Amino acid sequence: MSHRQILLVIYGLMAGMFLSSLDQTVVGTSIRTISDDLHGLSQQAWVTTAYLIVSTIATPIYGKLSDIFGRRPLFIFAISIFLVGSIASGFATSMIELAGFRALQGLGAGGLMALPLAIMGDMLAPRERAKYQGYFLAVFGISSVIGPLIGGLFAGAPFILGIVGWRWVFLINVPIGIIALVMVMRFLHLPKRSVNRGVRIDWWGAATVVLAVAPLLLVAEQGRDWGWTSGGSWACYIIGGLGILSFILIERMMGDDALIPLKLFKSRTFSMATILGVLVGFGMFGALSSIPLFLQIVNGSSPTQSGFQLLPMILGLMISSIVSGQIISRTGRYRIFPIVGTFVMGVGFFLFTFISAATPIWFVMLGMLFVGLGLGQLMQTLTIASQNAVGPRDIGVATSSSTFFRQIGGTLGVAVIFSALFSRVPDTIKSAFADPTLAANLKAALGDPKVLSDPKNTQILGILKDPAKLGDALNGDTAFLNTATHALAAPFLHGFADATVAGFWVSLIVIIVAFILSFFLKATPLRQKSALQEVADDDAAILATRAAEMVGAPLEPNVSATADSSGRPPAGS
């Protein structure tokens, strides 16, 4: 393929990935408006949880099916089902309906996240691939910045073209999805796969991965509200544990036909890249969720402003991913990037451990820049390492497995970091009220008649009258902190900032572990051919082997090295 043809395909793939990544950020800033309009504030968590669970579970399924039936039809199906879910979500009449339609969106999103990188693996050799994968990280970064902005604009508009503003949060996917669909159908033409009728579809593996992942993701999302030791949480732990055990047993029995073949983990490179992916996902999604919360509550930023304030992280991610991709493309070496990436990312989280309510925004942005510079070196490098460690026929399942485990790590990161944060809030707020300076300012403010009569202080004054409410003051709507007199709000802001640091310490420890493990990542030499070319060479070798056997001619040395006695290429070829 020429450079122009590759770019046209990439634009279509990026449009598809943009749909999925944008949908994760655009809903967050508008969910309050949506839940108020649909009269379901208490049910809003299910809207995000349904999307997360289904998209995560669907990811490895898409990867395996695309290895069997081809990437193009699966990718077209993923875009189509995502568009149907988006249209349905845009016209939902209740929060329960919206949660169901969001699950339908998630069914498509699993393919939109996993298949583009697998298609890249088909088209391009690993060294060439590194040059282009930075574009996909740019898509992720751009969507992270403009998602909150778009969500805020749509949620704030009463009507757009005669339709309630927040509904465009979902309907905006339609024109983008149609563009992606047209470009993929027009420009993405991969050789058709000859489906081996002897291949078994791992239906039991798909069923048990649902049984394993759904309860654990559910408790990760809802455990803080339920209580980590509640009956519902324990039920999720037990069902998820049994599901994991059943999944492993079934995958062993299915062998090469397994949804996630266990043979992949015989490769030290794939196994270590997967572990690092889980840890990096933990740190990445933990940062992307806790930093905007800090900016909005402590600094008083709006959701849109906090999105723009994340620019240093996004710019760092884009710069380092493009630079590292160019270096990998020219040198063929990538082992240094996981080491340097985890170190730089760790520096960013180390800086975060020093923040407080009085920390200037430039210091927070400096930490974000370091985190972004580290992430950019890690995400594409770990994907390339995973793809390069497996055979060309397993590119899809390797890529989707890498994405799947990173999503699991991200969900775990958000759950653990938020638990650490909110479990510390009651103690840190009480400590802030005991601070001599803050206490003196508070006392002076309470003695000012203008402060006591200001309606903006009504809610916070009601909390201050009942000390028992202090620990739970930030469990609901926190907007009163941004409008109340600063002396009254300061103890809450300092307490929340100190509690946030506890979450950053957790992330720092995880990244330090990743840094240590990165030295054990065995960097196998990058292959010189694309997966499609390798498969074609293998098929040619098999045909030559069979032809030689039919005529009784001796095998050429290179042919016997490529195919085994069964006529199939050896594992890991």
Domain boundaries of the chain, sorted by first residue: 1-190, 203-258, 426-500, 534-573
161 CB neighbour count, 10 Å cutoff? 7
Query: Which pLDDT does position 445 carry in this prediction?
Result: 82
Q: What is the mean pLDDT of residues 72-101?
A: 92
For 438-467, write each residue's pLDDT tens digit: 888 888 888 878 878 878 877 777 777 776
Residue 556 has pLDDT above 60, yes or no: no
Query: Residue 319 is which amino acid?
Result: I
540 against 427, higher pLDDT: 427
Residue 193 has pLDDT above 70, yes or no: no
Q: Which residues contact 6 (CB under 8 A, 6 or more apart)?
A: 123, 124, 132
| % the chain with pLDDT above 90 | 16
In CATH, which of 2.70.98.40, 3.40.50.970, 3.30.565.10, 1.20.1250.20 is domain 1-190?
A: 1.20.1250.20
Task: Give whichever of 128-142, 182-196, 340-354, 490-504 has the largest mean pLDDT.
Answer: 340-354
For 26-40, write each residue's pLDDT tens digit: 877 677 678 778 877
Q: What is the mean pLDDT of residues 466-477?
A: 65
Residue 391 has pLDDT above 70, yes or no: yes
- SS3 letters across 66-118: HHHHCHHHHHHHHHHHHHHHHHHHHCCCCHHHHHHHHHHHHHHHHHHHHHHHH
State the first-to-last Cα distance of the chain, in angstroms, to the nearest integer.
23
Query: Which pLDDT does position 477 carry in this prediction?
Result: 60
Among 210, 337, 368, residue whose Cα is nearest residue 273: 337
Query: Which pLDDT does position 245 carry in this prediction?
Result: 94
Residue 129, exposed/middle/buried by CB under 10 A (0-12, 13-18, 19+)? buried
Residue 491 tokens, joined: 């103890």
Name the one residue in this structure whose structure tokens are 């070319």: 533
Instruction: List, in sequence order, the alpha helices (H) in 124-165.
Output: 126-156
- Helix, strand, coil content of the chain in percent (nearest 5): 80, 0, 20
For 279-331, write each residue's pLDDT tens digit: 988 888 777 778 888 888 888 877 667 777 888 888 888 888 888 888 887 88
Query: Which pLDDT does position 553 carry in this prediction?
Result: 54
Rama region for 249: left / alpha / beta (φ>0; ψ in -120 to 50; rest): alpha
386 against 134, higher pLDDT: 386
Mean pLDDT, the chain, as a whole number?
81
Query: Which pLDDT does position 72 carry in this prediction?
Result: 87
The neighbouring-strand residues paired with 163 are 160
Q: Which residues contact 229 (CB under 8 A, 6 or more apart)?
A: none
Residue 88 tokens, joined: 């349905």
For 149-178, write each residue's pLDDT tens digit: 787 778 778 888 888 888 998 998 899 889
Task: Give whichever of 173-187, 238-252, 288-302 has the largest mean pLDDT.
Answer: 238-252
Question: Cα separations (Å) of 489 from 56, 359, 440?
Answer: 39, 16, 13
CA atoms within 13 A on the CB side of 181: 16
For 41-78, write each residue's pLDDT tens digit: 666 667 877 888 888 888 888 988 888 888 888 999 99
| % the chain with pLDDT above 70 | 88
Query: Which pLDDT does position 476 carry in this prediction?
Result: 59
Report yes or no: 160 and 41 within 8 Å, Cβ to Cβ: no
Q: Which residues contact 414 (CB under 8 A, 6 or more apart)?
A: 220, 285, 286, 289
Query: Which pLDDT does position 563 carry in this prediction?
Result: 43
The string of DSSP codes covering 193-209 is: P---TTPPP-HHHHHHH
118 against 511, higher pLDDT: 511
Angle at 450 between CA 447 and CA 452, to 5 degrees: 60
Among 214, 180, 209, residue whose Cα is nearest residue 22: 180
Q: How confident is the model at residue 510 (pLDDT cuts 50, 70, 90)?
A: very high
Residue 119 has pLDDT above 50, yes or no: yes
323 against 533, higher pLDDT: 323
